[in-house]
């Protein structure tokens, strides 16, 4: 396998999933604090109050990354640490945590890659309508500008939003994630405001003339038909429109997919002149999170439904289908390129067992190897892929599944906060050692 010079190898995490210290140093309440406390929303009633206690153990975690040998670390900033109520006075104690973390990374020779929004919206903004309210995009611009001003020269890669499809659909459409709203039309408004927030943050960034690259991360899943019938092909078009193109098109083409009139008629009243100029302003890269594929069939009523996986699955029930990553990269490049791409998340949850002080997570190793091989093949076939981040460095709070799904290459004992490199981390370490990097 060959990777271009300067290709970045990393691991990724997100603030609410690892930091803990939920009430510390003036941090405000986020929608995930509220949601995880609402009975029945998160498995076993787990919350991110303590999580991996990374807020206190970050030095140890950076040391682990150094030991593994990554080039870059993708983390996210908690908006409510910096603006406890979403707007108003900056909380410098919150910003200081990220300054300490970044300093520790730079000292260890690891490039910081920072995401501004990985789902922990200040609850005070949710109380005013959250992402369904257009003003949230404006507050986000202010928050982004503060962060760029304070940390702008020390971060190498900026990501505005993580997976707006999840924030919009899981948060406001089916309610599986915070804030738990169930309103299909509302989720499309939320999606529009998230895209606008991205555009406004990008505008603020460009105005500051900072040198680092900036982009956005989407969760993209290649969709396949259950059969070769024209009806199932049509089902693929619709599923792809919903999961992928509804975000790719506005960002990279400057308009919503025209073949989705039912969606368009809902969102049209919310679109204001100039929105698409902001949303589709040039990106330095697109971040892609990918875990699996989708298989769909028509439902006989003009819609579609998912069919069960056809191969092995992870502990999430997600099919392991490495070729899906190749197909996706080729497709994004062909339909939206040329544009530098990063895989900002890829990884797998398995039911890990500690046996005599070791975790033999062979399935995760195979998962990573096979996906990295598909990424290498896409590069060979012309895709300008610039980096790959394993999700995740640590076992952590896996949203609605609490601590019941382990994605880490590092095992975390949530009672003692002890960390232990799983076999997959040791494999990643030797894989990285074996690469000629420069």
Residue numbers annotated as active site: 163, 345
Q: What is the CB neighbour count within 10 angstroms for residue 269?
A: 8
Rounded-to-integer distance, Cα 280 and Cα 194, Å: 13
Q: Is 73 in the site for ligand FCB (CB under 6 A)?
A: no
**122-130, 162-170, 251-259, 364-372 -> range binding ligand FCB (CB under 6 A):** 162-170
Q: Please, which residue, 225 or 324, has the CB nearer to ligand FCB?
A: 324
Q: Is 361 in the site for ligand FCB (CB under 6 A)?
A: no
Quote the tokens at residue 227.
């059969």
Q: Is 162 in the site for ligand FCB (CB under 6 A)?
A: yes
Q: Is 166 in the site for ligand FCB (CB under 6 A)?
A: yes
Closest CA to 390 of 412, 375, 401: 375
Q: Please, which residue, 263 or 399, has the CB nearer to ligand FCB?
A: 399
CB of 403 to ligand FCB, least distance (A): 12
Note the helical H segments in 258-339.
261-267, 275-279, 323-336
* One residue of 289, 290, 386, 424 binding ligand FCB per CB under 6 A: 289
Closest CA to 117 of 64, 57, 182, 196: 196
Euclidean distance between the first and the last CA atom of the chain, given in angstroms as a whole number? 16
Q: At what angle do helices 423-434 and 54-68 cross, to 10 degrees?
A: 50
Q: Is 344 in the site for ligand FCB (CB under 6 A)?
A: no
* One residue of 407, 411, 427, 428 binding ligand FCB per CB under 6 A: 407
Q: Is 35 in the site for ligand FCB (CB under 6 A)?
A: no
Quote the tokens at residue 31.
């929608």
Q: Please, which residue, 47 or 219, has the CB nearer to ligand FCB?
A: 219
β partners of residue 309? none
211, burial (CB in 10 Å: exposed 0-12, middle 13-18, buried 19+): exposed
Q: Please, which residue, 14 or 78, has the CB nearer to ligand FCB?
A: 14
Q: Is 350 in the site for ligand FCB (CB under 6 A)?
A: no
Q: What is the CB neighbour count within 10 angstroms for residue 107?
A: 11
Q: Is 160 in the site for ligand FCB (CB under 6 A)?
A: no
The torsion of the CA quartet 85, 86, 88, 94, rounded to 10 degrees, works out to 80
**160-168, 335-343, 355-363, 377-385 -> range binding ligand FCB (CB under 6 A):** 160-168
CB of 55 to ligand FCB, least distance (A): 17
CB of 34 to ligand FCB, least distance (A): 18
* One residue of 120, 163, 275, 361 binding ligand FCB per CB under 6 A: 163
Rounded-to-integer distance, Cα 17 and Cα 11, Å: 14
State whether residue 181 is helix, strand or coil.
Answer: coil
Q: Is 391 in the site for ligand FCB (CB under 6 A)?
A: yes
40, burial (CB in 10 Å: exposed 0-12, middle 13-18, buried 19+): exposed
Closest CA to 54 of 128, 116, 7, 104: 104
* One residue of 9, 11, 14, 33 binding ligand FCB per CB under 6 A: 14
Q: Please, which residue, 91 or 346, has the CB nearer to ligand FCB?
A: 346
* One residue of 104, 249, 345, 352 binding ligand FCB per CB under 6 A: 345
**87-95, 159-167, 198-206, 351-359 -> range binding ligand FCB (CB under 6 A):** 159-167
**161-169, 204-212, 295-303, 371-379 -> range binding ligand FCB (CB under 6 A):** 161-169
Q: Is 395 in the site for ligand FCB (CB under 6 A)?
A: no
* One residue of 11, 72, 167, 219 binding ligand FCB per CB under 6 A: 219
Note the helical H segments in 71-209.
79-82, 92-107, 123-126, 135-151, 164-165, 184-207
Residues that bind ligand FCB (CB under 6 A): 14, 17, 162-163, 166, 219, 289, 345, 391, 398-399, 407
């Amino acid at each position: 396998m060959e990777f271009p010079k300067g290709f970045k190898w990393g691991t990724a995490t997100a603030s609410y999933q690892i930091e803990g210290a939920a009430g510390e140093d003036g941090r405000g309440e986020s929608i995930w604090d509220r949601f995880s406390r609402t009975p029945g929303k998160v498995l076993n009633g787990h919350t991110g109050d303590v999580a991996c206690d990374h807020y206190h153990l970050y030095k140890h975690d950076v040391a682990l990354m150094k030991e593994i040998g990554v080039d870059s670390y993708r983390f996210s900033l908690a908006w409510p640490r910096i603006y406890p109520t979403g707007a108003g006075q900056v909380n410098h104690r919150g910003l200081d945590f990220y300054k300490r973390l970044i300093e520790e990374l730079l000292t260890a020779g690891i490039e910081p890659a920072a995401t501004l929004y990985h789902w922990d919206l200040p609850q005070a903004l949710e109380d005013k309508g959250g992402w369904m309210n257009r003003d949230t995009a404006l507050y986000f611009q202010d928050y982004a500008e503060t962060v760029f001003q304070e940390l702008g020269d020390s971060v190498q890669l900026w990501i505005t939003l993580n997976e707006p499809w999840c924030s919009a659909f899981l948060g406001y459409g089916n309610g599986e994630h915070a804030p738990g709203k169930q309103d299909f039309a509302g989720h499309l408004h939320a999606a529009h405001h998230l895209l606008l927030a991205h555009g406004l943050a990008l505008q603020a960034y460009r105005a500051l003339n900072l040198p680092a690259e900036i982009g956005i991360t989407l969760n993209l899943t290649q969709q396949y038909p259950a059969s070769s019938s024209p009806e199932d092909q049509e089902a693929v078009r619709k599923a792809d429109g919903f999961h992928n193109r509804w975000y790719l098109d506005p960002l990279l083409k400057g308009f919503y997919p025209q073949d989705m009139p039912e969606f368009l008629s809902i969102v049209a009243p919310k679109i204001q002149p100039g929105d698409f100029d902001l949303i589709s302003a040039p990106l330095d890269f697109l971040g892609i999170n990918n875990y699996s594929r989708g298989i769909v069939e028509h439902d006989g009523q003009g819609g579609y439904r998912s069919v069960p996986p056809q191969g092995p699955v992870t502990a999430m029930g997600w099919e392991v289908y490495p070729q899906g990553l190749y197909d996706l990269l080729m497709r994004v490049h062909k339909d939206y390129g040329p544009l530098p791409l990063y895989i900002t998340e890829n990884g797998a949850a398995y039911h890990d067992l500690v046996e005599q002080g070791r975790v033999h997570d062979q399935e995760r190793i195979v998962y990573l190897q096979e996906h990295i091989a598909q990424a290498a093949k896409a590069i060979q076939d012309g895709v300008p892929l610039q980096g790959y981040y394993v999700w995740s460095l640590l076992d952590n709070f896996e949203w609605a599944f609490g601590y019941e799904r382990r994605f880490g290459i590092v095992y975390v004992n949530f009672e003692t906060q002890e960390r232990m490199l799983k076999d997959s981390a040791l494999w990643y370490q030797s894989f990285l050692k074996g690469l000629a990097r420069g």
